[in-house]
Structure 1
Amino acid sequence: MIPIETIAMFIVASAALSLSPGPDNIFVLTQSAMKGRKAGIFVTLGLCTGLMFHTAMVSLGIAAIFQTSELAFNTLKIIGALYLLYLAWQAFRSSAANFETVNDDLLDWKALYLRGIIMNITNPKVAIFFLAFLPQFADPSVGSITLQMILFGCLFIITTLVIFSSVAWSAGFLGEWLKSSEKSQSIINKMAGTVFVGLAIKLAVTSR
């Protein structure tokens, strides 16, 4: 059995990492501000589903491929960068009117959920991060390493879900204010587009 002290330390570390500025929480923030709290929650669920994918990869040892294969790493990061540029294009072309008419009935929850998944699994840095982070807390003397990796991955996902949902809820207040001002709506669309371009460039130039 994994010591409770180790689990507590892992949760604290996971919370600190989830709170630090990064592509995923910035993505949740911008989507929540543009489309409302529930949109941010569905994006968060998608991101956490992506983390399940990375947890499985690490548990099975597949993530090591991205650490050792430059071709695999570069291919995945290019796909991720292109997707971010696509999101930037969508944000730049969105008008104030489009922003204003968004409501719970019109939002495509499946699309938002899928967007979160794609955003997460096309970032090879997440796979490598999991490969480096999770094993630090595993101890062969307390049982199966694979099962420990799965447990730590689940704990990380739960922690991320709580924190990112809080970010989405808080950003929703910004979205409510934006609905009352067309100029503000235009500004947030341009800001979101700029953020996506910046994240795409950062991902494109990142190295293993």
Structure 2
Amino acid sequence: MDELTSLFAFISACIVIILIPGPAQALVLSNSISYGKKSGIITAIGLNAATIFHSLFAAAGLSAILHTSAVLFSIVKFLGAGYLIFIGFMTLKNSSQKETAQNNSSLKKVFLKAFITGILNPKVALFFLAFLPQFVDVSRGNVFFQFILLGTILALMDIGYETLLVLITSFASDRFVRNEKFIRVRQKITGTVLIILGIRLAFAQNK
């Protein structure tokens, strides 16, 4: 398989993967609905920064260790689940307060939360371990760089798609942005989504 054919196959596979709704998109959209489009976009960037790190882990062989160690998998899984549930409850607790997450300090927190959420998801690490090697060609040399390049391409494509979703969602939700009751409802939705994602991750299996 030549380079262009391989790249086309990879991009085609990425499009299919990106279009499948998942927990990451749920988090991006819930943050966008609750705190505005900037927070939604920053969430997408934070999650995909973690995506690039997972491609680095796969290249370094760390994901393989996670795959073979049930104990390590469980530790990372429960850390991630606990973190999601914690920030979910904190969001519910603060749902009576008006939070827009539009200042630089808050946006940094949004990015950090999304990044940590992505890093502490062992299922993502195992996905990269299974997916990326199919498109890495040892004969081309610098396998490590190929892993990082492929992970970056996937991350950029995902950010583009999720940004589009955020803009579409924000167009509808901005009509209600000044409604205090709607703001509280949005934050409760976000908190509930985070808790559900945390519980879902807690029951994830090492497959």
TM-score, reference length from structure 2: 0.90
Give the secondary-structure state (helix, strand or coil) at the position aligned to 1:98: coil
2:129 to 128, 131, 144: 131
> Match of 2:186?
188
Task: After TM superposition, list the pairs within 5 Å mapping 1:52-63 onto structure 2.
Answer: 52-63=52-63
Residue pair 1:24, 1:119 contacting (<8 A) in 2 also: no
Cα deviation per residue 1:77-131 (whole Å; 9 max; x = unaligned)? Answer: 11111111112112212335414xx263476121111111101000001110000
Specify the code of the residue in structure 1 equivalent to 2:76: L
Specify the code of the residue in structure 2 equivalent to 1:46: G
**Whole-Å separation in 2 of the counterparts to 1:160 and 1:67:** 24
Task: After TM superposition, list the pairs within 5 Å mapping 1:57-72 onto structure 2.
Answer: 57-72=57-72
Residue pair 1:30, 1:192 contacting (<8 A) in 2 also: yes
> Match of 2:4?
4
TM-score, reference length from structure 1: 0.90
Length, aligned pairs only:
206
**Whole-Å separation in 2 of the counterparts to 1:83 and 1:123:** 11
Runs of 5+ consecutive residues of structure 1 not aligned to the other structure: none
Residue pair 2:97, 2:184 contacting (<8 A) in 1 also: no
> Match of 1:108?
106
Shift in CA distance, 59/103, structure 1 to aligned 2, threshold 3 Å? closer
> Match of 1:206?
204
Specify the code of the residue in structure 2 equivalent to 1:164: E
Shift in CA distance, 131/177, structure 1 to aligned 2, threshold 3 Å? same
Once the 2 structures are TM-superposed, how far is the Cα of residue 51 of structure 1 from its aligned partner? 1.2
Residue pair 1:15, 1:163 contacting (<8 A) in 2 also: no
Give the secondary-structure state (helix, strand or coil) at the position aligned to 2:102: coil
**Whole-Å separation in 2 of the counterparts to 1:2 and 1:111:** 43
**Whole-Å separation in 2 of the counterparts to 1:81 and 1:198:** 9
The farther-off stretch of 64-73 and 179-188 is 179-188
Cα deviation per residue 1:16-49 (whole Å; 9 max; x = unaligned)? Answer: 2122121211111111111111111222221121
Q: Are residue 84 (structure 1) and residue 84 (structure 2) matched? A: yes
**Whole-Å separation in 1 of the counterparts to 2:101 and 2:200:** 32
Once the 2 structures are TM-superposed, how far is the Cα of residue 2 of structure 1 from its aligned partner? 5.2
Cα deviation per residue 1:108-162 (whole Å; 9 max; x = unaligned)? Answer: 1211111111010000011100000001112233334323222211211111121
The farther-off stretch of 179-188 and 37-46 is 179-188
**Whole-Å separation in 2 of the counterparts to 1:85 and 1:69:** 24
**Whole-Å separation in 2 of the counterparts to 1:199 and 1:97:** 23
Specify the code of the residue in structure 1 equivalent to 2:117: M
Shift in CA distance, 55/183, structure 1 to aligned 2, threshold 3 Å? same
